[in-house]
Amino acid sequence: MNSNLTINSVYTNNQYNKLKTNKPSFTHGASNNDLTKKQKAVILTTSAIGMTPVLGYLAKGKGFSLNPARLLKTPLKNWAIFKSQPKERTIQYKAGPIIATAAGSIAGGFVGGSIVDKKNRKAKQKEMLNQILGNVAVPVACVSTGAYFYNKYQDTIEGIMPQIKSEKKAVKFLNKVLKSVPNTVSTLVLLGFGIFLGNRVSNFINEKIYHKKVDRNVKATDFAPHVDDLCMAMTMMNEDSIFASRLSRVIPLALLVPGYQTGIAQEH
C-alpha cells in the first residue's frame, strides 16, 4: 500500500444535476458553455503553465536540471515527469505535491479563463474553491490517511486472506490475487468515500458561502469520469509497486483537469 502519491482532484459534481437545475455546477468533464475551442485551448495552456513551477521544484529536488538548453537536448522519456525508475530519481506524488500541483493548475486555469471570458470571472472564483477543496484536497486526504493506516497494519490485514498450499504456478498466482483483495477493496472504498465527502464539501460551499442551493447527489455514473483519480488512488496505496510508479506518471496530466474546469466555469 502506498501513502505516497496522490488522489487528486476527485471531481464529484453531477452533470445531470447541472442540466436539470440550470444552476452553477462544477463538473469533472464537459461543461455547458459558449467558449470556443481556441478559448478552451488558452485555458488548458495556462493550467499547464500554472503547474510548471511546482513540477520544476519537484524535479529539481530529484537532481534534474531545469536549464532550458539541457531540457531541449534531453529525450522526453528522460524528463523528470516521465521517469518511473529508479525510485530515488522519480518524483513521488505524495499528498502535499499533489495538492500544490493542483493548486498551480487551478490558478493557471483561473488566469486563462479570466482573460478569455472576463464576464464570468465570479463563477471562476467560486469554482476555484470548489475544485481545490471539494475535488482535490478532501479526496487526497481521505486516500492518504487511509493508505497510512493500511500500510501500518498491512501484514496483519493480508495475513487474514486464505492461501492454498501448492507449488503450481496457477495456484501461486491465485494466492497472490487473494492477498491483493484487501488492497483493492480499500482503494475503491477510500476513493468512493473521498468522492462522497468531496461532494458534501462542494454542497456546503455553495449553500453556506455562495448561497446557492445545488444538490449534487453521488450516483454510480459519477465514477465513470474518474479514471484519472483512480490512477492516483492506486499509486497512493501501492508505494513499492513498479506498476503504480508507472501509473503515477499520469498524475500531472490528470491534474490539468481542475484548472481547466475552473477556467471554463460560467454562471447559468
CA atoms within 13 A on the CB side of 244: 25
Give yes or no for a contact between 66 and 59, defined as CB atoms under 8 angstroms apart: yes
**Length of the chain measured in residues:** 268
Q: Which grid coordinates belong to 33?
A: 458553455
More confident residue, 195 or 107: 107
- Would you say residue 4 lies in a domain? no
Give 28's contacts (C-beta < 8 A, 6+ positions apart). Answer: 10, 11, 12, 13, 135, 225, 226, 257, 261
Q: Which grid coordinates belong to 122?
A: 465570479
pLDDT at res. 131: 87
pLDDT at res. 55: 93
Residue 26 CA: distances (Å) to CA of 14, 158, 168, 210, 217: 8, 39, 52, 13, 13
Give yes or no for a contact between 241 and 10, defined as CB atoms under 8 angstroms apart: no
Confidence of residue 52 (pLDDT cuts 50, 70, 90): very high
Residue 138 CA: distances (Å) to CA of 129, 130, 227, 240, 267: 12, 11, 17, 24, 24
* CB-CB neighbours of 9 under 10 Å: 35
| Identity of residue 90 | T
More confident residue, 228 or 186: 186
- Would you say residue 81 lies in a domain? yes
Each residue's pLDDT tens digit, 155-189:
888 888 888 888 888 888 888 888 888 888 888 88
Q: Minimal CA–CA distance to 259: which of 11, 60, 4, 3?
A: 11
- Would you say residue 44 lies in a domain? yes
CA distance 95 to 144: 7
- Would you say residue 242 lies in a domain? yes
Q: Which grid coordinates belong to 233?
A: 488512488
Confidence of residue 110 (pLDDT cuts 50, 70, 90): very high
Q: Which grid coordinates belong to 156?
A: 496483519
CA distance 175 to 178: 5
Residue entry with cell 497510512: 148
- Inform me whether the pLDDT recorded for 5 exceeds 50: no
* 109-115 mean pLDDT: 97
CA distance 156 to 147: 14
- Inform me whether the pLDDT recorded for 2 exceeds 80: no
Q: Which grid coordinates belong to 163?
A: 492461501
- Would you say residue 6 lies in a domain? no
Q: What is the DSSP-derived secondary structure letter of residue 138?
A: H
pLDDT at res. 265: 92
Residue entry with cell 534534474: 64
CA distance 268 to 265: 10
Beta strands in the chain (DSSP E): none
- Would you say residue 189 lies in a domain? yes
pLDDT at res. 66: 87
Q: Report pTM.
A: 0.75
- Would you say residue 159 lies in a domain? yes
Helices then strands, each counted (H, E), the chain: 12, 0
pLDDT-above-90 percentage for the chain: 20
Domain boundaries, position 78: 15-264
Q: What average pLDDT does the chain have?
A: 78
- Would you say residue 27 lies in a domain? yes
Phi, psi angle pair for 68, to nearest 5°: -55, -40
- Inform me whether the pLDDT recorded for 215 exceeds 60: no
Confidence of residue 117 (pLDDT cuts 50, 70, 90): very high
